[in-house]
Amino acid sequence: MVNPGPHDKHALIFEVVREVPYGKVATYGQIALLAGLPGHARLAGYAMFNLPEDLADSVPWHRVINSQGRVSYSESRRGNDHRQRELLEQEGVEFDSRGRIDLARFGWKPE
């Protein structure tokens, strides 16, 4: 079997993220595992950060959060971290007073 290249890995990640349902979230690690890339949570984060603009409407990037149940805030995200929270709240995802999402309630559990 040939190892997939970085862009092929991103495509695998994007395929999984497309499956995360409305009103649910998944962690970067969960996405990597489901994409057949266990232990590559950072790669999933990198793929989401570098999502091509032409895929932004078909890949619900905002439904992917960190393992603490939080949106990852960073200056380098150019405001998309705040946009991510807004989009999740529009879908009914709730944040507690510490900015965390209850993964037991809102976490995606694929069959």
Domain count of the fold of the chain: 1
pLDDT tens, residue by residue, 63-77: 999 999 999 866 655
Residue predicted with more confidence, 52 or 78? 52
> Per the domain annotation, does 44 fall within a domain?
yes
pLDDT tens, residue by residue, 83-92: 899 999 999 9
Picking from 2, 1, 37, 34, the residue whose alpha carbon sits closest to that of residue 17 is: 34
105: pLDDT strictly greater than 60: yes
CATH number at residue 17: 1.10.10.10
CB 25 within 8 A of CB 65: yes
Dig out the tokens for 102 from the structure: 């209850």
Dig out the tokens for 93 from the structure: 């995802």
Q: Output the CA torsion 37→41→44→48 (10° steps).
A: 170
> Per the domain annotation, does 104 fall within a domain?
no
Whole-model pTM: value is 0.88
> Per the domain annotation, does 1 fall within a domain?
no
| CA dist., res. 99 & res. 1, Å (int) | 42
What crossing angle do the helices spanning 6-17 and 41-49 adopt, rounded to 10°? 90
Domain containing 53 equals 6-96
Q: What is the pLDDT of residue 22?
A: 98
Dig out the tokens for 14 from the structure: 């994007």
